[in-house]
Structure 1
Amino acid sequence: MTIDTDRPELRNGFPPQQQQPPGLTSDMDPLPDHGEDSYEGHGRLQGLRTLITGGDSGIGRAVALAYAREGADVAFTYLPEEKPDADRTTELVEAAGVTCRAIEADLRTSAACDQVVAETVEALGGLDVLVNNAGYQMAREEAVEDLTDENISRTLTTNLEALLWMCRAAVPHLGEGASIINVSSIQAFSPSTALLDYAATKAGINNLTVNLAAQLGPRGIRVNAVAPGPIWTPLQPATQSTEKLEVFGQETPLGRAGQPAEVAPAFVFLASRAEASYVSGTVLGVTGGKPVF
């Protein structure tokens, strides 16, 4: 896989733009790279049945595409307003010749999470890999006194409660060799004051990942997390100020934001029974050089 990291916009920041959450890929300038033209599969996940929450765009789409090209069947969730992105992800996954099931669901209730897992198992014939990718942030509120009840509730429920509900529903269907991959963030290690609630949930996900790995290890189920740094996804123009987008990612040692396609290989590695069979309870950073410890 080769990413064109010399694109001027990756080095010079992103043009002013704003969207309403959760944002759409088609409205982004420039469009993100999900690996459409660069990711080549090698059968590393052949026959695995995978479920990705928030798989319609951004990192979720890149993971869905990579999994499909590695031979895995893919189910993913999306919000109603993300239907255009979900349709495009479905096209990419099906073009790889595997089964795809797009599931419209708001994961902020346990009943919805239960239904998503049940529909996935029915569509794919079982479940081997759960990727808890769905997340919410709102970085336009700078101070704690500006946080609204609605945004606090949405962040905590989407990022933490739904993750636990998804795990609870999925584990009875996971056998030996299966894995759960959670999405953490550099914010868990180096939190921004403008992401107070979001960063706290990501630190919680790290704790949950290690704890769940200890609980499920005797059953042969691995649990890990990926901690991305600044990645160019629809969530950024939908939740960041234009001023922050102009310098987005430039604070990293590599001096630029990452693309979703640059994160997906970490998820492939962690899902692989051959390559990551002894990897559990770890948080793998894909941060452009920012430390994760």
Structure 2
Amino acid sequence: MIVPEAFVRATVDREGEAGEAWLERLPGIIEDLLSRWDCAVDGDAMHGQVGVVVPVLAPAPAVLKVSFPHPGNVHEPDAFAAWDGRGAVRLYERDDDRFALLLERVHPTTLNEGTNIAEDAGRLHRRLAVPAPVGLPRLQDRADEWEAELRKDAAELTHPLPDSVLDAAVAVIHELGRGQPDILIHGDFHPRNILRADREPWLAVDPKGYVGDPAYDGATFLKPRALALMESDDLMKALQRELEVFAEAAELDPERVRLWAQLQAVQAALHGRRYGYGRARSGPLLKRLNALADQLAMSWC
């Protein structure tokens, strides 16, 4: 099994020696799981940010996904099990100790290549909003951490956000963050995590598996849409339209989506100044992304 070189470099850059050690074990892990789950390799390995995906026949077309061990990946199989194919890929097998899944195979085409992105995402998200199973992490338990981090970053970092915008973000934490419904949410719901499928037009992949407010996922969906719409004549008008279409299709309160979007934009503006972004750690692109986050934080307020 040849692990993609780009995935090797990214894993070592991000995880250091722990990543190198895991990568040395990865081919053996894959070979063992192929044998255990009676799979035959059916194409070249692909990868995301933290996991390798191997097309297999088992005997139907499927994929073997093995992720670098990380707390953010722990509840991915729990979410798939709860959905049982409802709006998401089906889970066939799981090995939690090795962060490995055998999943329904879908196509590499993402919703970014669709024609009705906000509406299709909203319809799909409505189907994912089911009662949460016991044992999943609750977003509301992170509210105190969110507020403490926001106040610390706002005080320590150089940024243009006025106090009114920061206060509005803290108000969202108090209003929505500390009392959330017992609903299963994706946790990383954006167009690249929605893939073309045969069984249904689109299916979700790569969930975090949280318990919380479905409108939080709506705000997460809007962040990459802002990047896609940056060249619009009126970015905020275009984003507001996306919000309204998504919220109607998902049967969500658009005001709750807007409030979560404002908080997430403030968090992104501050986090980007401290750590950068996945696609930009320095240079002109980082400045551009920070400026976009600033604009969203102040415009959603």
- TM-score normalised according to structure 1 size: 0.30
Question: Which of the pair has the greater relative contact order for Cα pairs under 8 Å at 6+ separation?
Answer: 1
More helix by share: 2
